[in-house]
Chains A and B, each alone.
Chain A
Amino acid sequence: DTEVTQTPKHLVMGMTNKKSLKCEQHMGHRAMYWYKQKAKKPPELMFVYSYEKLSINESVPSRFSPECPNSSLLNLHLHALQPEDSALYLCASSQDMGVNEKLFFGSGTQLSVL
C-alpha cells in the first residue's frame, strides 16, 4: 500500500464552523506533513509530525490545530476559519524527516470557507 488517503475530498464551511480533515497512511512512514496550496501556487508547509510528535509549526494561525493520534493518522482541526483560508490542503508522508526528499501526497481536501 503506497497510498495516503485524505477525507473529505471537498469541504465547504462557514466561518463559525468546526471541522476536521483526516489523513491516513499504512506505509510505516514516521513523518507526516500538512501542506496548504492555493491555486497556481506551490504547496506551502504548515506542520510536520515526526514519530507522532509535532516537530514544526510554520507560524500557522491557531485556528488550525493539528493532531497525530497514532503513527498512521493525522488530523487537522479547523475552527473559525477565514475566507482566505480557502485552499487545497494536502497531507503527505515520508519514511522519516531525514529522508524527506520523496514525499507521498494524498489527493487533498479542497476547502472553501464562506
Chain B
Amino acid sequence: GQSLEQPSEVTAVEGAIVQINCTYQTSGFYGLSWYQQHDGGAPTFLSYNALDGLEETGRFSSFLSRSDSYGYLLLQELQMKDSASYFCAVRDFEGSQGNLIFGKGTKLSVKP
C-alpha cells in the first residue's frame, strides 16, 4: 500500500539547521511535495522535487533520492516563526486517483 513516514516531532534552537526526513512507499511516483502549516492556519506549499537532488529556495531546501524512496526538507538559520507542522506529500495512485496524500506531519518547535 501507499505510505509516508516522517518523524512526529523535532526541536531545535534559533539559528540552527534542522532536517526533516520523509520516506515513502507508493505504487507510482511523480515527485515529493512539502507543505508548512502553522497552528490554526492553512497548509502552504513549500517545495516540490520530481528529480533527484537538492532544490534550494532561500533558507529552505528540499532533497530527493528516488532510488532510496527518500527525501528531506532542510531548514537553515531557524527562526521562531518556523515553528509549525511540516508535511511531505505524494500522489496516491491506489486510492485517490493521483491526488495528493500527506504524511502524518512533523511538528517543529524552535526554541530561543
Contact = CB atoms under 8 A, between A and B. Distances in A.
A14 to B, nearest CB: 24
B99 A101 contact: no
Given A42-B105, A102-B33, A102-B48, A107 B98 contact: no
Given A41-B104, A42-B104, A42-B105, A100 B42 contact: no
Contacts of A100: 91, 98-100
Given A100-B91, A101-B31, A101-B91, A108 B42 contact: yes
A43 interface: yes
Interface string A32-50: 0100000011110100100
A110 to B, nearest CB: 8
B48 to A, nearest CB: 5
Contacts of A97: 98-99
A97 B35 CA distance: 18
Interface of A: 4, 33, 40-43, 45, 48, 55-56, 58, 90, 97-98, 100-108
Interface of B: 30-31, 33, 35, 41-45, 48, 87, 89, 91, 95-105, 107
11 contacts: A40-B107, A43-B43, A43-B87, A45-B96, A48-B99, A56-B99, A90-B42, A97-B98, A101-B30, A101-B33, A107-B41
